[in-house]
Amino acid sequence: MDQSGRAEPNLNLIVNAMQSIAFTAAIEDKQRHPPHMKPKSSPLRWLPLPILLVIGLLMSPSVFAQAPAPTPHELVFTENSSTSLSATFDGTSVTTTNSGPNVWSLSVGGLTPDSPGVQWVEPEDARLYNVLILFAGGSMSVVSDFDFQSGLTIGGNGGTINSVLIDNNDEQPVNVTFNDNGDTVRTVADTGSSFGLLLFSVTASLGVARLRIPRPA
């Protein structure tokens, strides 16, 4: 394989094949022309055009070039305020539901989490994080202005964290980016929060949101 990542042809196989073809051509040439009439030229002169074309293709590195690597999927979040969060998957808008201040839920079908979640540092307060919590089936929640969660990968604001999920449709990774463009700094940070408490708070917020939905008469 050369420095560009393309596989190099097996020169030994090509040389052996050319020698075999040339030897056969030489025998046929000898049968056509006695020694005193044999033309002084390369045996390859008598090779059929298709064989010459095949040899040329085998000598071309482009024949052995590897297929380009697949492009990962992109999930991008943009927070505009404590109640406004937009999301796109490969450039297509994804609906987000605001269930309370700094808490959103969404779902992208066909995704499998490769970790329990990830987090990005708040631009206004490095003690706080924007946390993405992942569930089975492509469901996920975003909690802004939350405490550091031990064990979760950390990214900077506007940064991309690779291979956070897997797209079951093509088994390709999903990279996630978070842009915090309009958050408000909390004056008092929550302390002693754990990932379990975070899950509990998200579940509680979603439950309250459901209770507030009026039932049809």
Q: Tens-digit pLDDT profile for the chain (217 aa)?
A: 555 555 555 656 665 666 666 666 666 666 665 655 555 555 555 556 555 556 666 666 654 566 677 799 999 999 999 999 999 999 999 999 999 999 999 999 999 999 999 999 999 899 999 999 999 999 999 999 999 999 999 999 999 999 999 999 999 999 999 999 975 444 444 444 455 555 545 554 444 333 333 334 4
Strands (E), 123-171: 128-134, 139-147, 153-155, 160-167
Q: Return d(Cα 137, Cα 215) in angstroms, integer.
A: 27
Other C-beta atoms closer than 10 Å to the C-beta of 205 total 20
Q: Please report the pLDDT score of residue 70 as a whole number.
A: 76
Q: Please report the pLDDT score of residue 49 as a whole number.
A: 59
Q: What are phi and psi of 106, to 5 degrees?
A: -160, 170
CA distances from 72 to 75, 120, 173, 195, 210 (A): 10, 20, 5, 28, 35
pTM for the structure as a whole: 0.59
Q: Please report the pLDDT score of residue 182 as a whole number.
A: 73
Q: Please report the pLDDT score of residue 141 as a whole number.
A: 97
Q: Return d(Cα 139, Cα 135) in angstroms, integer.
A: 5
Q: Side by side, which strands form the sheet with 117-121?
A: 97-100, 103-107, 139-147, 128-134, 117-121, 153-155
DSSP state of 168: T
Q: Return d(Cα 12, Cα 22) in angstroms, integer.
A: 15
Q: Please report the pLDDT score of residue 199 as a whole number.
A: 54
